[in-house]
Homo-oligomer: A and B are copies of this chain.
Amino acid sequence: MTDGLTTDWLDRRARAHPNRLALSFADRAWTFAELDRAVAMAAGALRLHDVGSGSRVALLAGNSAGTVIAIHALLRLGAAIVPLNTRLTPAELAWQAADAEAALLLHDADHADAAAAVGDRPTVHFGENGPAERGAAPVAGGTIDLGRPQTIVYTSGTTGRPKGAVLTAGNWWWGAAGSALHLGHHRDDRWLAALPLFHVGGLAILVRSVIGGVPVSLQAGFDPERMARAFVADNISLVSVVPAMLPPLFEALAKMRRPHRLRLMLTGGSPATEPLLREALARGLPVAPTYGLTETASQVATLLPDDIPGHSGSSGTALPQTELRIERDGQIVPPGGEGDIVVRGPTVMRGYLGQAPLARDGWLHTGDIGRLDAGGYLTVLDRRGDLIVSGGENIYPAEVEAALLAMPGVAEAAVVSAPDARWGAIPVAFVVARPGASPTDEEIERVLATRLAGYKRPKRIEWVDRLPRTASGKVLRRALRERLQPPL
């Protein structure tokens, strides 16, 4: 289902419609032919660094045209991209690059220091035109083997140790095709990409662009005024956002004089509240709540705006090629019942790096909790392993707890999600000091700053005498979360 061969996606687009817009970033624009030429040169440069089919290359870069060119160049060479979250600490970056056995660390100018701090493998930097080397010969698009790993994206599990999800070119192909069937695909579509390209949600936009011939307006990050201006000026029809972006976008859009032409605003990362969705619809924004996973090359299910009224709180139905079901204790739960969300289909990753591959046509256990109604509409009730989703970033409590427990003064630690008006959720730590020790908040923060990306660090530390536990000794996270709810 995810093997076979196909023609280089960008090459095909560049040949058939050379003069069609492919990419815009800041004040520059590239047609498909221009993007293809830039990618050919970048691929030639990377080849001089021995990047080829099967190479693993870590990528540490912000959103820029150079990053887009680097990504397409790596795809053209058949290399597996290991996209690194730019917010990670050097220690975290080094761990992921090492775990992935990346031969090379490719980085942009803004991340030269971070790349140097990783320190344990060769680095190659690139500028606004992507990787470049004197004497590089352009590499034309060839054949894509759909069965080969295209990306290795790190995601943390319940163990606290990040795992590299191996996504093949075929996983990405099916994601793009299924997305087009689910969301529609218009000749005049144009995507705005402001979410980081190191997450699957951003990468998926680049893949859809070259497979469907859709131009991408790339932005360096989230700036509500800039985004609102682009909606209007670039005739954007499709955009992905996280719920935290919506309120500032409401304000920015209210100031625009001309109407936007958005047809879908995919809203994912964390659940959007009903009042927020209602306000968006009332303001004429076609919000489409979306459930996605790193392990499925992003999109699993999306609720289209027309379906919101009858399906409050849902993330919609699965893409046409994707199957969803709810299980409890290995048994299928009938419609309406709660349980584990499991997914099957050709976007499901081959497996985690260094672990046994998933069974062919096996079900992926997401670890998330939800229910399906009789119509196949999914409602996500809780994220896996008490996952905290803060401003679109996933924080795994177990990873933060492991960092806390590594400190000599800490006896016990539990990290839970607290509601936050701006980020949706923030991590809060409950910590029990070791007898005789009395570490301060500042000491803890200073140590964590070297070990965990800023967004993962607890925004508040609650010192307690003991953690609430079940009879079998398991921490009662729910009890801790309840302590953090704002009073009714």
Q: Inside 8 A of A346's CB, which chain B residues have their CB?
A: 4
| Cβ contacts A154-178/B at 8 Å (1 or 0 each) | 0000000000000000100100111
Q: Please state if B185 and A16 are interface contacts (CB–CB under 8 Å).
A: no
Closest residue on chain B to residue A317 by CB atoms: B16
Q: Please state if B16 and A376 are interface contacts (CB–CB under 8 Å).
A: yes
| Cβ contacts A300-333/B at 8 Å (1 or 0 each) | 0000000000000000010011010000000000
Q: Inside 8 A of A211's CB, which chain B residues have their CB?
A: 181, 320
Q: Inside 8 A of A184's CB, which chain B residues have their CB?
A: 184-187
Q: Please state if B376 and A15 are interface contacts (CB–CB under 8 Å).
A: yes
Q: Which of A202-243 contact B (CB under 8 A)?
A: 211-212
Q: Please state if A6 and B180 are interface contacts (CB–CB under 8 Å).
A: no
Is A7 part of the contact surface with B, judged by Cβ < 8 Å? yes
A442→B184 CA distance, assembly (Å): 56
Is A2 part of the contact surface with B, judged by Cβ < 8 Å? yes
Q: Please state if B5 and A4 are interface contacts (CB–CB under 8 Å).
A: no
Q: Which of A340-394 contact B (CB under 8 A)?
A: 344-346, 360-361, 374-377
Is A18 part of the contact surface with B, judged by Cβ < 8 Å? yes
A33 to chain B, nearest CB (A): 10
Q: Inside 8 A of A377's CB, which chain B residues have their CB?
A: 16
Q: Please state if A1 and B177 are interface contacts (CB–CB under 8 Å).
A: no
A170→B187 CA distance, assembly (Å): 26
Q: Inside 8 A of A374's CB, which chain B residues have their CB?
A: 15
| Cβ contacts A176-196/B at 8 Å (1 or 0 each) | 111011001111000000000
A361→B178 CA distance, assembly (Å): 22
Closest residue on chain B to residue A186 by CB atoms: B184
Q: Please state if B4 and A3 are interface contacts (CB–CB under 8 Å).
A: no
Q: Inside 8 A of A143's CB, which chain B residues have their CB?
A: 323
Is A12 part of the contact surface with B, judged by Cβ < 8 Å? yes
A287→B6 CA distance, assembly (Å): 28
> Given the known A-B contacts A181-B180, A184-B187, A320-B211, are A375 and B5 also in contact in the complex, defined by CB atoms under 8 Å?
no
Q: Which of A238-255 contact B (CB under 8 A)?
A: none
Identify A4's interface contact among B1, B146, B180, CB under 8 A: B1
Q: How many copies does the complex hold?
A: 2
Is A9 part of the contact surface with B, judged by Cβ < 8 Å? yes
Interface size class of A (residues with CB under 8 A): 35 or more
Q: Please state if B376 and A5 are interface contacts (CB–CB under 8 Å).
A: no
Q: Please state if B18 and A375 are interface contacts (CB–CB under 8 Å).
A: yes
A185→B319 CA distance, assembly (Å): 14
Q: Please state if A375 and B1 are interface contacts (CB–CB under 8 Å).
A: no
A297 to chain B, nearest CB (A): 15
Q: Please state if B5 and A170 are interface contacts (CB–CB under 8 Å).
A: no
| Cβ contacts A410-434/B at 8 Å (1 or 0 each) | 0000000000000000000000000
Closest residue on chain B to residue A188 by CB atoms: B184
Q: Please state if A6 and B187 are interface contacts (CB–CB under 8 Å).
A: no
Closest residue on chain B to residue A18 by CB atoms: B375
Q: Inside 8 A of A212's CB, which chain B residues have their CB?
A: 181, 320
Q: Please state if A170 and B1 are interface contacts (CB–CB under 8 Å).
A: yes
Q: Inside 8 A of A361's CB, which chain B residues have their CB?
A: 4-5
Q: Inside 8 A of A6's CB, which chain B residues have their CB?
A: 320-321, 323, 345
A5→B345 CA distance, assembly (Å): 7
A245 to chain B, nearest CB (A): 25
Q: Please state if B320 and A9 are interface contacts (CB–CB under 8 Å).
A: yes
Q: Please state if B5 and A3 are interface contacts (CB–CB under 8 Å).
A: no
A347→B178 CA distance, assembly (Å): 16
A75 to chain B, nearest CB (A): 15
Identify A177's interface contact among B3, B15, B177, CB under 8 A: B177
Q: Please state if A5 and B186 are interface contacts (CB–CB under 8 Å).
A: no
Q: Please state if A323 and B5 are interface contacts (CB–CB under 8 Å).
A: yes
Q: Please state if B2 and A375 are interface contacts (CB–CB under 8 Å).
A: no
Q: Inside 8 A of A180's CB, which chain B residues have their CB?
A: 177, 180-181, 185
A19 to chain B, nearest CB (A): 11
> Given the known A-B contacts A16-B375, A16-B376, are A146 and B1 also in contact in the complex, defined by CB atoms under 8 Å?
yes
Q: Please state if A375 and B181 are interface contacts (CB–CB under 8 Å).
A: no
Q: Which of A2, A6, A212, A323 has the most CB of B within 10 A?
A: A6
Q: Inside 8 A of A187's CB, which chain B residues have their CB?
A: 184
| Cβ contacts A17-54/B at 8 Å (1 or 0 each) | 01000000000000000000000000000000000000
Complex A-B, nearest 5 residue pairs according to Cβ-Cβ distance, in ascending order? A1-B4, A177-B177, A185-B185, A16-B317, A15-B376
Instruction: Name 12 interchain pairs, CB-CB below 8 A, sorted by A.
Output: A1-B2, A1-B4, A4-B345, A5-B323, A5-B361, A6-B323, A12-B317, A15-B317, A18-B375, A177-B320, A180-B180, A184-B186
